[in-house]
Amino acid sequence: MAYSDYGGYAYRNGILIKERSDAVLTTEGIQSTPGMWPGFVIPEGRTGGSFHVLLGDGKVLVGLYKQSHVAIYKDGEEIKLVDLLPVEGIKTYGEDSYVDSEYYKESGLPCIVTVDDYQIEIYWEETDNHYQYVRLTQPDGNIWTGFSGYGVGMGLEDAGYGFSTSQQEERLQELFKD
């Protein structure tokens, strides 16, 4: 089961990539333990840099954690999402590293940011629970999509929480159908 009862799925060009669920950025590259907390077997998973979903295979990577935190890395260095925000006046929390997603939930608009030529689109939604959906479009034409939230995703498909992983897959496809 995914850690903290949160999970998600990652897709590269529409194909599920299980190894990008419960993934960790390590000194040797990306490692994962799909369906369980990486810290059990990957020491670096205990000290941060672990995500429910990790998108990208270029110099920009996007990590999804729980239902609202999106971490962006360029060449291994974190770039705070709040420093890239296109809308001024959005509240932030935790040393300005967490975006108050209520603005985006209420407006239904995506948060769209660009790092070099990598475009990142984020939707935060509250339906039966809180979820985040992300698309990373790379300059080489590869497109990564993913979602994370409570009670859904890798290892939580049959956990009995009452939340539907398949519904989140459908919603992800609806949001990024173009």
Please give the pLDDT value at position 166. Answer: 92
Handedness of CA 178, 122, 54, 58 (dihedral sign): positive
Q: Which is higher by pLDDT, 59 or 3? A: 59
Closest CA to 132 of 42, 18, 52, 59: 52
Residues 78-124: tens digit of each pLDDT: 998 888 887 666 766 666 667 778 888 998 999 999 999 999 999 99
Q: Which is higher by pLDDT, 94 or 31? A: 31
- pLDDT band for position 62 (50/70/90)? very high
Q: Name the residue ranges covered by the structural domains of the chain.
A: 3-175
Please give the pLDDT value at position 140. Answer: 98
